[in-house]
Amino acid sequence: MTDMAVKPAPAPARSAPAPRPRRRPGGWAIVRAALRVLATLAILFFVLFPILWMALTAFKPARDAFSTAVVFAPTLDNFAAILGGASDLTGALVNSVLIAVATTIVSIPLALLAAYAFSRYRFPGHRGMLLAIVATQFIPGVAIALPFLTLFRSLGLIDTHLALVVVNLSLVVPYITWLLKGFVDGLPIEIEEAARLDGCGQVSLLWRVITPLAAPGIFVAAVFSFLLSWNEFLFPTFLARTDASTLPVALMTLVLPEGVAWGQMAAAGLLVMAPMLIMALLVRKHFAEGMTMGAVK
Amino acid sequence: MRRTPRLVAALGAALALLASGCAAGPSEQDLLDSVATGPTDELGLLTGKPYDGTHIRLLSCCKTTAQFAALQEKTDREFTAKTGITVEWANIPYESYLQKIVAETAVGGGTYDLVVWPDAYGASAKIGLQPLDEVMRRADRSIDEFSPPFQQAARAGDPDTVYGIPFRGFSYNHFYRKSEYERLGMTPATTWDEFTAQLRRLDGAGGRAAFAGQYGRGGGQNLYTWMSMLWSNGADVLGRDGEPAFTTPQGVAATEQYLALLRDGHSPQASTNWTETDSTQSFEQNRTNSVFTWAWQMDDFTDPAKVQPEVAGDIGVAPLPGWPGKPTVTYGFTWLMGILNTSDHQGAAWEYLKWVTNAETERDVALDKSDPDTATSVVVHTANMLDPEVNAVNHGLPKLQESALRTARTVPMTIDWPQIQDVLEVAINEMAHGADVRTKLDEAAAQIRTLTRR
Amino acid sequence: MVATTVPPPRPRSRMRKHAVPYLHLAPALLAVVLTTVYPLVSALITSFRHWRLNETREAGEFVGLEQYQRVFTDDTFFNSALVTLQFTVISVVLSVGLGLGIALILNNRTRLSALTKALLILPFAVAPALKGFSWRFMLNPDTGVYDQMLDTVLPFADDINWLGDPFWALMVIALTEVWGWAPLIALMLLGGLNSISPEVREAATIDGANAWQRFWRVTFPLLRPLLLIVIFLKAVFSVKIFDQVVTTTGGGPGRATESLNFFAYSQGFTFLDIGYASAVSWVIVLVLGVLATMYLIAMAKQEAK
């Protein structure tokens, strides 16, 4: 790929320092600073506007849903409609929470154990398995969902929470195994060695030493796991009908025969979005790292 | 490396375990075994509450549709009180509904007892449905209670078997702004040439476009008008041999005429991508002078709470135009209800199916105008369509429907229909975007031939 | 990779030495194998069998490569491959380009930039299905707020029916992706920019290089490895595009937005042709497999350094 040595990073001539940093007060500097501020505001607008607009629409009365008015008498009608009202989505909300929580609870211990093994041991197949785990992320969802459709039919598991938790593992476990491996790599090994010298067995080492040390990492992994399950659309589309239908899919119930109920859609959207936005802000620092999955390491 | 084989063996064992569980799916029941016999009441329901306490689930969509809402409300009040059976209507998103019902019938899940489906999916759905002929005969019910297209849909392509009972259906009609027609001294056209001539006069009349067409892709909705025109001109979607039959001169002419409504500017440019809802909304919002749609829309068009006030009191309805000397054949849309193979409560399900498709139940609902949310003009029993009382409170629409349905048809009943519909609706949409009619029809015919020859 | 290997507590035989890591791995591997390898193998077998769910409940006869032949003679498959390719190129170029732009603009220490950086993560956390719905709402040609803004700024945009036009419909789906990804890519790149030592940049400044030259001669070469990873990641996610196709256009107008994943989904779920859908998914798996291999090789090279 890239051989950095070939790319001529400019070799600075250190020997002749300029008398002083160039300073050109006024003129250009001000224009450039202003442009930078404007550009930053444009970025803020680009990033936030769709979110704010949806939040705004969620509080609009039905007759204003289609207007671009910013001033209106706010109402909670849309929320009333989706929470127990005519287009009740509380069932889907509960399903979303249950499935995301269950997926997280199941996948964290699995991934932590695997991450620990990858991080602390060398064994035959180490590299191969590590790469194979990344490779699973390239499998298109349909290829996974289709066989499960027929398998779950045979097992009578169509439209159950269990079915969705099982398929969600295919998304979550590989991903957070990598994430946690990164965290465990960063833990000082001396503590473990000391614990072993103290006669700490493998199980209590993992439980008493590694788990608390990796707690921040586990938290990040848990958030990711929750987010991936929460936002998942393809699997519930295939494998759920009503009893296990999750929020992103249930948004479709608001596409009524007489048109899309945009006000309610916005309210439901806020419901789908808000927890994820908060979580994303909580793990903001690790988000980008997680995406590049150790590739930069 | 030496550990690996043992690991593989363990995984293999786990897989084998999983595979062995495959035999334990929801089992299929036989309706005749689970239907109880005994004395019945005036609605044909078994007396003595043999299924008291049973809970059954109906896979359905669109629970806010007035007729569905009315039936659900009446179910609790009347059916459950009489039989002790509780009924839950599942509300599946309309957009993904078609896929879900086919999945429920074909894939099966065992969660539902009854299912509601639109005609086009009958052939695919019947693999998961119980034949109803014998139980209908025993209950003294007959599919002859319904119009020809409803009967065709109920048989789902099987000449001797009924898989579902129609419980919602309608003719395809021409709705227009009465005052505008009166002002221009016109009566609804009976031929397409006349219709086109009228559209020219309606262009811009009252500040509205002449016609709200629907040429967009979505649920096969852009085929409704097209098929009606095709059939009326003597062409067909599929011939008797199952081969595409829409590339005949009559087929091409009908298609050209259909697209001319858009290409000549009578239907707004945006209708290139409109589906049913978009075109009816345009009519409701006072932006177009006429529209083709299902008869039930009358309930909405005349409801001042749902449309612009000037629209509500100004609606005319007529049969679709046709070709001179040829019978006008339109599409009659049917929703059917049937019993799933995988249901564990087929006896109770049949009780409900009898009640919900009973002419008396239907008549009560159509006469009840006390609540706008449950008021509906939809009736499917021929007897109710001709009932003067029912007509009196429903704009005379049922009678108009009955006459249109006498010559109407349903879509081809083949398991390939979902694919064929997809090919055709894309072709129509692409023609609306400017593709050549002849070429596109030939292309679509070739695609359909390939996929039906599998 | 990581050079910290704990010596096992007691010396054991070679055979038993590796038992511990394998035991640790077993649960996760089992989960991964069951949820990815099993379906892949199952789909591979099904892809050689005739099986339409609306015809027979169980899988039918083996038909050899017939269904693969059908994939490669199916115009609608090639259409979806082309759509996916176009979509991938558009969304990668826009996401990475815009992401890089955002990163460069925000690469300073003002308070406004810090705030913006903190918020950059938000769009990515929004469910893709919801992104589709919200953009569909905002670009409604009659009532959408974005549509009205655009019509004011660009008069010609007034005539554009965003989701009704084959080109723009694909662009809109790409935009929903760009909205989520460009800020995220910016965040990743900002991480990279931070690691460029100020001395190097300063030196270039002193060298008399202008901003443009500094970017191409200093910043860009240093960001290059990271950019490659980002482009690759975005490409993989773009090839898998599905959610927004369903919630924004449903594949239309015509077949202008039918992606590969959507095509496979229609064959399997709408048309219930499980055999054909399995063959289609395997073709997609192979296409992505080539991409994945390229990625793994690249990673291995980088690691080797």
Q: What is the DSSP string of B28-97?
A: P--HHHH-----B-TTSPBTT-TTTT-EEEEEEE-TTSHHHHHHHHHIIIIIHHHH--EEEEEEE-HHHH
- Enumerate the β-bridge partners of residue B168: B335
Query: B114 pLDDT band (50/70/90 cuts)?
Result: very high
Question: ∠ at Cα B104 (C259, B347), nearest 5°?
Answer: 170
Q: Residues near B387 by Cβ (< 8 Å), separated by ≥ 6? A: B363, B379, B398
Pairwise CB contact (< 8 Å): A241 & B24: no
The two structure tokens encoding residue A121: 């041991």
Q: pLDDT at residue A295 above 60?
A: no
Task: Give me the residues of C, 129-148, that contact A with CB < 8 A.
Answer: 129-131, 133-135, 137-138, 140, 142-143, 145, 148
Question: Domain spans of chain A?
Answer: 28-82, 90-292
What is the rounded CA–CA span in Å between residue B381 and residue B167?
Answer: 8
Please answer whether residues B112 and B57 qualify as being in contact, where contact means their C-beta atoms are separated by less than 8 angstroms: yes
Q: pLDDT at residue A87 above 70?
A: yes
The two structure tokens encoding residue B57: 């689930």
The pLDDT value given to residue A197: 82
Q: Which of A228, A34, A283, A183 lies closest to C118 in space, CA to CA?
A: A283
Residues in chain C closer than 8 A to B216 (CB atoms): 164, 252-253
CATH 3.40.190.10 domain extents, chain B: 40-169+333-406, 172-331+416-452
How many CB atoms are located within 10 Å of the residue B306 CB? Answer: 14
Q: Which of C164, C141, C147, C160 lies closest to C250 in space, CA to CA?
A: C164
Q: How far apart are the first and last CA of chain B?
A: 47
Task: Give me the residues of B, 200-219, that contact C with CB < 8 A.
Answer: 216-218
Instruction: State which residue of chain B sits closest to A254, comparing Cα positions.
Output: B93
Please answer whether residues A277 and C122 qualify as being in contact, where contact means their C-beta atoms are separated by less than 8 angstroms: yes
Percent of the residues in chain C that have a pLDDT greater than 70, as a whole number: 92
The pLDDT value given to residue C13: 57
- Enumerate the β-bridge partners of residue B174: B292, B318
H or E element at residue A255: strand A255-256
Question: ∠ at Cα A194 (A192, A198), nearest 5°?
Answer: 110
For C13-35, b/e burial (b = at least 16 CB within 10 A) is eeeeebebbbebbbbbbbbbbbb
- Enumerate the β-bridge partners of residue B170: B333
What is the rounded CA–CA span in Å between residue B323 and residue B254?
Answer: 10
C123: CATH: 1.10.3720.10
Query: A20 pLDDT band (50/70/90 cuts)?
Result: low
The pLDDT value given to residue A287: 64
**Is residue C1 assigned to a domain?**
no
Q: What is the pLDDT of residues C241-292, one digit of tens each?
A: 999 999 998 898 999 999 999 999 999 888 889 999 999 999 999 988 887 7
- Strand order across the B165-170 sheet: B86-92, B55-61, B114-118, B333-339, B165-170
Specify the CATH number of the domain A90-292.
1.10.3720.10
Q: pLDDT at residue C6 above 90?
A: no
| Residues A232-243, mean pLDDT to the nearest whole number | 88
In this complex, which of B125, B419, B429 lies closest to C252 when CB atoms are compared? B429
**What ipTM was assigned to the predicted interfaces of this complex?**
0.84
Instruction: Give me the CATH topology for the region B40-169+333-406.
Output: D-Maltodextrin-Binding Protein; domain 2 (3.40.190)
Query: A25 pLDDT band (50/70/90 cuts)?
Result: low
The two structure tokens encoding residue B36: 């109880």
Q: Which of A5-9, A41-45, A234-238, C146-150 has the lowest mean pLDDT?
A: A5-9
Pairwise CB contact (< 8 Å): A255 & B93: yes
**Is residue C33 assigned to a domain?**
no
Please answer whether residues A273 and A53 qualify as being in contact, where contact means their C-beta atoms are separated by less than 8 angstroms: no
Q: What is the pLDDT of residues C132-170, one digit of tens each?
A: 998 888 888 777 888 888 888 887 777 788 888 899 999
How big is chain A, counted in residues? 297
How many CB atoms are located within 10 Å of the residue A125 CB? Answer: 16
Per the structure, the count of domains in chain C is 1
Q: pLDDT at residue B116 above 90?
A: yes
Q: How far apart are the first and last CA of chain A?
A: 15
Q: pLDDT at residue A23 above 70?
A: no
Pairwise CB contact (< 8 Å): B95 & A125: no
The pLDDT value given to residue B320: 95
The pLDDT value given to residue B3: 41
Chain C CB within 8 Å of residue A186 CB: no
Chain A CB within 8 Å of residue C301 CB: yes
Chain C CB within 8 Å of residue A281 CB: yes
Q: pLDDT at residue B44 above 70?
A: yes
Q: What is the pLDDT of residues C171-213, one digit of tens each?
A: 999 999 999 999 999 988 988 888 777 777 677 777 777 778 8
Q: Give the position of tokens 């442009």.
A: A35
Q: Residue A5, CB half-sphere, CA atoms under 13 Å: how many?
A: 1
What is the rounded CA–CA span in Å between residue C299 and residue A241?
Answer: 41
Pairwise CB contact (< 8 Å): B419 & C38: no
Query: B423 pLDDT band (50/70/90 cuts)?
Result: very high
| Residues A88-96, mean pLDDT to the nearest whole number | 92
What is the rounded CA–CA span in Å between residue B318 and residue C270?
Answer: 35
Pairwise CB contact (< 8 Å): C27 & A109: yes
Please answer whether residues B211 and B291 qualify as being in contact, where contact means their C-beta atoms are separated by less than 8 angstroms: yes
H or E element at residue B206: none
Q: pLDDT at residue A12 above 50?
A: no
| Residues B240-264, mean pLDDT to the nearest whole number | 95
Q: What is the DSSP string of B271-308?
A: GGG--HHHHHHHHHTT-BSEEEEETTHHHHHT-TTTS-
Q: What is the pLDDT of residues B126-177, one digit of tens each?
A: 888 999 999 999 999 999 999 999 999 999 999 889 999 999 999 999 999 9
- Domain boundaries, position C131: 66-304
In this complex, which of A148, A177, A192 lies closest to C28 when CB atoms are compared? A177
- In this structure, whether the domain defined by B172-331+416-452 belongs to CATH 3.40.50.150 is answered with no
What is the rounded CA–CA span in Å between residue B453 and residue B420?
Answer: 12
Q: What is the DSSP string of C18-33?
A: THHHHHHHHHHHHHHI
Pairwise CB contact (< 8 Å): C38 & A4: no
What is the rounded CA–CA span in Å between residue C128 and residue C125?
Answer: 9
The two structure tokens encoding residue A243: 């009893």
A297, with CB counted inside 10 A (0-12, 13-18, 19+), is: middle
Chain B CB within 8 Å of residue C59 CB: no
| Residues C57-65, mean pLDDT to the nearest whole number | 87
3-state secondary structure of B370: coil
What is the rounded CA–CA span in Å between residue C9 and residue A204?
Answer: 14
Percent of the residues in chain C that have a pLDDT greater than 90, as a whole number: 41
